[in-house]
């Protein structure tokens, strides 16, 4: 075997392999020992490159943020839409990430993303500071929340609808009458299917419209719009 019969371990290689393992097998399937084996190395070797499992997870999260596209669209709404879509894509590829996106120490890609969103809202949409905060909160909440639901129900929806129906029925003979609206949902979804991507778009449109509604109508331009500058008091006193 030539010089270095095995590729030297790197922090990057460790994080890469960890993401691969998590992508198929979930976070439960990711153990330091399995990760080490996957890399052809003894478990403790990993600790030369990450402080502990927690730090590894933080690094993985920032990798997810790093996958987000950075659109240059001058239309702020289109740019936000692209960011939201790219976030949903990343969270669909890495469902294990959802519960931890805003946990732990934020990495640089995380910071860059949130900075860019605020930039869209402040400089692009010309929103006053606190309106931009509200908009950012609403948008993030929607995207994260949607991904959260998407994640679990992402499988075969007609089958899942049928299964849910079984659950309801198992609850007792009168259950079908107790949950009439759920029965309708199960029936319709079973019949017509359900496209998460399209559902996401519909909600995203509603959210973006709501953000548009924050803009003072007839606003034209000028005034501190080029950069950050607060103009109003906070929403409350903490």
What residues numbered 3-22 form the site for DNA, per CB under 7 A?
3-4, 8-9
Out of 134, 162, 215, 225, name the contact with a second copy by CB under 8 A: 134
**Which positions from 199 through 238 interact with a second copy, judged by CB under 8 A?**
199, 202-203, 206-207, 209-211, 213, 227-230, 233-238
Exposed e or buried b per residue across 57-94, where buried means at least 16 C-beta atoms within 10 angstroms of its C-beta: bbbbbbbbbebbeebeeeebbebbbbbbbbbbebbbeb
The yes or no reply on residue 52 touching a second copy (CB under 8 A) is: no
For helices 108-119 and 129-153, angle between their N-to-C axes, nearest 10 degrees: 120
Q: Would you call 125 exposed, middle or buried from its count of C-beta atoms within 10 A (0-12, 13-18, 19+)?
A: buried
Which residue, 48 or 93, is less far from DNA as judged by CB? 48
From the list DNA, a second copy, none, partner contacted by residue 158 (C-beta under 5 to 8 A by kind): a second copy
Among 3, 74, 155, 180, binds a second copy (CB under 8 A): 180
Q: Which residue in 116, 9, 113, 108 sits closest to 59, CA to CA?
A: 108
Rounded to 5°, angle at Cα 84 from 83 and 87: 85
At its nearest, how many Å lie between a second copy and the CB of residue 119? 5
Candidates 12-20, 70-78, 79-87, 160-168 — which segment interacts with a second copy by CB under 8 A? Answer: 160-168
Q: Does residue 41 bind DNA (CB under 7 A)?
A: yes
Q: How far is CA 161 from CA 65, 149, 170, 194, in A?
A: 33, 14, 14, 10
Decide: 60 and 113 in contact? Cβ < 8 Å: no
Selected binder of a second copy within 1, 198, 218, 221 (CB under 8 A): 198
**Sole residue written with tokens 């996958």:** 67
Q: Tokens at residue 79, please?
A: 């740019």
Provide, rounded to whole angstroms, the least separation between the CB of residue 23 and DNA: 16
Candidates 12, 51, 148, 169: give the one binding a second copy (CB under 8 A). Answer: 148
Applying CB under 8 A, which of residues 140, 162, 176, 215 lies at the interface with a second copy? 140
Query: Closest Cα partner for 73 from 23, 120, 114, 39?
Result: 120
Residue pair 97/90 in contact by the 8 Å Cβ criterion: yes
47 versus 144: smaller Cβ distance to a second copy: 144
Contacts to DNA from residues 19-38, by CB under 7 A: 30-34
Q: Which residues bind DNA (CB under 7 A)?
A: 3-4, 8-9, 30-34, 41-45, 47-49, 52-54
């Amino acid at each position: 075997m030539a010089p270095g019969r095995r590729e030297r371990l790197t922090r990057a290689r460790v994080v890469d392999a960890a993401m691969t393992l998590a992508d198929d097998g979930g976070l439960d399937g990711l153990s330091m020992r399995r990760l080490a084996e996957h890399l052809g190395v003894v478990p403790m070797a990993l600790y030369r490159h990450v402080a502990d499992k927690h730090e590894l997870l933080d690094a993985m999260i920032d990798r997810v943020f790093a996958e987000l596209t950075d659109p240059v669209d001058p239309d702020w709404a289109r740019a936000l839409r692209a960011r939201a879509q790219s976030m949903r894509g990343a969270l669909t590829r890495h469902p294990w990430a959802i519960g931890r996106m805003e946990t732990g120490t934020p990495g640089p890609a995380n910071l860059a993303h949130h900075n860019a969103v605020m930039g869209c809202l402040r400089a692009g949409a010309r929103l006053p500071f606190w309106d931009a905060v509200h908009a950012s909160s609403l948008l993030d909440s929607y995207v994260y929340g949607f991904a959260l639901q998407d994640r679990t129900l992402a499988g075969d929806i007609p089958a899942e609808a049928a299964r849910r129906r079984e659950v309801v029925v198992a609850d007792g003979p009168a259950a079908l009458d107790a949950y009439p609206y759920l029965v309708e949902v199960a029936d319709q979804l079973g019949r017509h299917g359900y496209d998460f991507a399209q559902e996401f778009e519909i909600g995203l449109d509603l959210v973006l419209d709501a953000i548009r509604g924050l803009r003072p109508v007839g606003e034209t331009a000028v005034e501190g719009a080029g950069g950050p500058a607060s103009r109003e008091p906070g929403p409350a006193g903490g």
